[in-house]
Amino acid sequence: MISELQDEDSKLGSPLTAEFYPPLSTEIFPHDASRNLPDNPLMSEIAEFLKRMDALRVEKNLTDRALSIEITGKPDLIRSIRKRQVLPKGDNLMRLATVLGTTTDYLLGGTEIRSDAVVHDGPLAFKDVPPRADLPVLGTAHGGTVMITGGGDDTEVEQTLFEPTQIIRYITRPRALSDAKDAYAIYVEGESMYPRFGPGEMAVVDPRIPPRIGDDVIVQLSENGDDEIHAILIKRLVRRSASFVELEQFNPPATFRIDANRVKRLHRICPSGDLLGG
């Protein structure tokens, strides 16, 4: 009987006593295990986002570092997106789409149309005047905090170092600012105006429009009455008089006054609605 089984086994090409090892799976999870995992649509959205971003990035011949610098002026944005597996938001997402020559809807998988720049099936075309990348982004750096004394109270205020003669880069000029020769942009440093402005976000200024109470403003400060700008404050305008300018910051919450003699210029930050006009 045993010899008959051995003969039959030899026909199958393996000894009767050999152990059986199932073939190794080539997938991340075997099929039977993956059924027990919860669906994660966000991961597929991020994977699709990275796929579309990388295809456009390669077309533009940009590295992750170069693309990050184009967007924020700093080298780590794309690396952080890959590492943390999160989608960019707000201004960073909009700037990413602009640099790659596409739309946020395309990057997020909402459309297969890469750009809405031109209407091909009608007599009219958008962008009849090519956009000009001539709006300067001026140099800034975190300036730490200073103590402002007023009304018997000391207030800790975050300030930003400002280099008006140092141009970091040029960005595409919004059509609404086509005639604003002195318009400029800066990168926000610090967190004193969060959540209105976060670190690395861009603020665009049109000096032609005078600030009103309640506007977000850039206050250019001097020392000892000279003309040199030593620092700026990015705050909200609360009140203005001949002797002082009253400002508000959000983080930590504080309202304080600056001697009017120290204020060389007071510029209004353009809301996004203003930049979309024109």
Say if 28 falls within a structural domain. Answer: no
Which position has the higher pLDDT, 37 or 40?
A: 40
Residue 50 sits in the same domain as residue 157: no
256: domain CATH number is 2.10.109.10
Average pLDDT on 110-134 reads 60
Say if 221 falls within a structural domain. Answer: yes
Residue 172 sits in the same domain as residue 210: yes
Separation in Å, CA 257 to CA 145, 174, 214, 251 = 15, 33, 15, 16
Residue pointed to by tokens 């009140």:
239
Has residue 31 got a pLDDT over 50?
Answer: no
For residue 217, what are the β-bridge partners? 235, 268
Residue 163 sits in the same domain as residue 78: no
Report yes or no: 258 and 233 within 8 Å, Cβ to Cβ. Answer: yes
Q: Determine the pLDDT at residue 25.
A: 43
Q: Is the bond preceding 88 in cis, omega lying within 30 degrees of 0?
A: no
Residue 91 sits in the same domain as residue 166: no
Has residue 61 got a pLDDT over 60?
Answer: yes
C-alpha to C-alpha distance for 113 and 106, rounded to whole angstroms: 6
Say if 206 falls within a structural domain. Answer: yes
Is this model's pTM higher than 0.75 or not?
no
Residue 165 sits in the same domain as residue 86: no
Give the range among 5-14, 110-119, 150-159, 230-239 with minimum mean pLDDT.
5-14
Structure tokens at 129: 């005047």
Smallest CA-to-CA distance from 235 within 194, 183, 201, 182 is with 194
Residue 146 sits in the same domain as residue 243: yes
For residue 248, what are the β-bridge partners? 236, 255
Confidence category of residue 64, pLDDT binned at 50, 70, 90: very high
For 203-227, how does the pLDDT look when each residue is reduced to its tens digit (9 = 90+)?
Answer: 999 999 999 999 999 999 887 667 7
Q: Determine the pLDDT at residue 248.
A: 95
Average pLDDT on 247-261 reads 91
Residue 63 sits in the same domain as residue 140: no
C-alpha to C-alpha distance for 199 and 191, rounded to whole angstroms: 6
- The tally of domains found in the chain comes to 2
Report yes or no: 87 and 93 within 8 Å, Cβ to Cβ. Answer: yes
Which position has the higher pLDDT, 8 or 74?
A: 74
Residue 151 sits in the same domain as residue 259: yes
63: domain CATH number is 1.10.260.40
For 110-119, how does the pLDDT look when each residue is reduced to its tens digit (9 = 90+)?
Answer: 788 876 554 4
Smallest CA-to-CA distance from 163 within 73, 268, 71, 99 is with 73
Helices and strands (DSSP H and E) totals, the chain: 8, 9
Strands (E), the chain: 135-150, 153-171, 184-187, 202-205, 216-221, 231-240, 244-250, 253-259, 263-268
Average pLDDT on 181-203 reads 91
Confidence category of residue 104, pLDDT binned at 50, 70, 90: confident
Residue 140 sits in the same domain as residue 102: no
Which residues constitute the domain of residue 194? 135-276
Which position has the higher pLDDT, 151 or 84?
A: 84
Residue pointed to by tokens 């699709």:
48
Say if 15 falls within a structural domain. Answer: no
Say if 209 falls within a structural domain. Answer: yes
Q: Determine the pLDDT at residue 278.
A: 52
Separation in Å, CA 138 to CA 68, 194, 221 = 17, 21, 16
Say if 27 falls within a structural domain. Answer: no
Residue 42 sits in the same domain as residue 141: no
Q: Determine the pLDDT at residue 40.
A: 56
